Amino acid sequence: MQINDLINHTSEWLKGTGPNSDVVISSRIRLARNLNKFPFPHWASKPQLNAVLDKTSQAMEKVDALKSSTLFVLASLDSIDKQLLVERHLMSIEHTQKTEQKAVLINDEENISVMINEEDHLRIQLMQSGFNLFEAWEIINGIDDALAKLLDYAYLDDFGYLTACPTNTGTGMRGSVMLHLPALVMSRQIERVLAAIAKLSFTTRGLYGEGTQASGNFFQISNQVSLGHSENEIIENINGLIRQIIEQETQAREIMLAKSKEILEDRVGRSLGILKSARIITSQETIELLSMVRLGSDLGMIKDIDRRTINELFIITQPAHLQKLENVKLSSDQRDLKRAELIRKKLNLL
């Protein structure tokens, strides 16, 4: 697989299928793992990092679930390629910095990715469409078991899996669910919901993880606590919270439909109108408008545009994707023009 092959592929997290996929975009689990006797990446020498890269990539070659996958060495990718992988949620923004001895393994289905020498030696990630954390856990647990037989993990019976940052110690597990909550945002209930989430020691982040702002009504919710609970308990706790948020969003949508249908239809219609006619559009505005169109589609107000098309637009209008599609480096202004053109083409063809 080449980076260029990714562009024509629909990312797992954007398939728009799976349980509760009208509210839940994707479910993701990542495990942080480190090798015994090797310093954590930030504290390791180049030869040590190279040894970690060799050992882990060789082990991964032997794991059945990772058989059809490709290892990308970060230092050999240009900045657009790296950004493309971030836009597709296959790696973190942090992984694009100081790229020596860093790599990422991506499977053909694009639902598994393993970052090597990020904050920890291994960051194994599994992404599923819809509300599906247990299924994600089953798959990633199997991969982790297979790797544990081949690698000597840094682990202590009392502290669990040892990680560079003590916030990840224990299970090394972070479960995240990406939610689309337009009705809670529009009805101004979202602050209350987010405040409650923070009190329960969960974190809310934006579309692109740590340090990013929530945009276009997308919120990523994940556990903060990784020690003292089993993996199943952590998932069950997230699931309990997510079920409540889904219920509130669904209820808010129903109330809006019942009490202010015209206002909602107007906003959805205007959003679609701008997308179909704009000549210059930023990626931020695109996300916000697509969010409204997605809501309109989920509520049956828009019938001729399916979720997959909307989802596809979310990704191909991102900066690196646009430049890959055009096959040239584009300035921000040029991108805004090309983006508008691409959206018009996709939506007016329907």
Partner 1 sequence: MELNIKMLCDICGKNPATVHLTEIIDEQMNELHLCEDCARNKSAAMEQQFGLSDLLAGMADFEKPSSKEEEVVTVKCPSCGLTYADFKKIGRLGCGDCYNTFRKYLAPLLKRIHGSNQHIGKNPAKIKTSARVYKKKSGLPELKNQLQKAISEEAFEEAARLRDQIKELEAKQEKES
Decide if residue 153 touches partner 1 (CB under 8 A).
yes
φ, ψ of residue 148 in degrees (nearest 5)? -65, -25
Nearer to partner 1, 242 or 281 (CB): 242
- Using the contact rule CB under 8 A, the part of the chain among 84-92, 164-172, 306-314, 341-349 near partner 1 is 164-172
Kindly state whether residue 203 participates in binding partner 1, applying the rule CB under 8 A: yes
Q: Minimum Å distance from CB 233 to partner 1? A: 8
* Dihedral angle sign, alpha carbons of residues 234, 237, 241, 244: positive
- Regarding 215 and contact with partner 1 (CB under 8 A), the answer is no
Task: Please tell me whether residue 252 binds partner 1 under the rule CB under 8 A.
Answer: yes
- Tell me: does residue 145 bind partner 1 (CB under 8 A): yes
User: Which string of x and - marks every residue 113-132 that binds partner 1 (by CB under 8 A)?
Assistant: ------x-------------
Smallest gap, in angstroms, from Cβ of residue 166 to partner 1? 6
- Least gap, CB of 320 to partner 1 (angstroms): 25
Q: Which helix (H) or strand (E) holds 255?
A: helix 231-259
- Which stretch in 67-75, 85-93, 185-193, 324-332 sits in contact with partner 1 by CB under 8 A? 185-193
Compute how many residues bind partner 1; rule: CB under 8 A. Answer: 66
| Long-range interactions of 238-244: CB distance < 8 A, separation 24+ | 238/133, 238/175, 238/177, 238/202, 239/131, 239/133, 239/134, 241/197, 241/200, 241/202, 242/24, 242/131, 242/177, 242/179
Answer yes or no whether residue 273 interacts with partner 1 by CB under 8 A. Answer: no
Q: Is 165 among the residues that bind partner 1 (CB under 8 A)? A: yes
Q: Do residues 5 and 119 make contact, with C-beta atoms less than 8 angstroms apart?
A: no
Is 160 a residue that touches partner 1 (CB under 8 A)? yes
Is residue 153 within 8 A of residue 33, CB to CB? The reply is: yes
Q: Which residue has the tokens 């990312």?
A: 11
Interface residue with partner 1, options 50, 70, 96, 189 (CB under 8 A): 189
Cα separation values, 32 from 189, 217, 261, Å = 34, 28, 46
Query: CB-side exposure of 232: number of CA atoms within 13 Å?
Result: 1
Q: Which residues contact 257 (CB under 8 A, 6 or more apart)?
A: 264, 299
- Integer Cα distance of 137 and 285 in angstroms: 34
**Residues contributing to the site for partner 1 (CB under 8 A):** 34, 36-40, 42-43, 119, 134, 138, 141, 144-145, 148-149, 153-167, 169-171, 173, 186-191, 194-195, 201, 203-204, 210-211, 224-232, 235-236, 239, 251-252, 255-256, 259-260
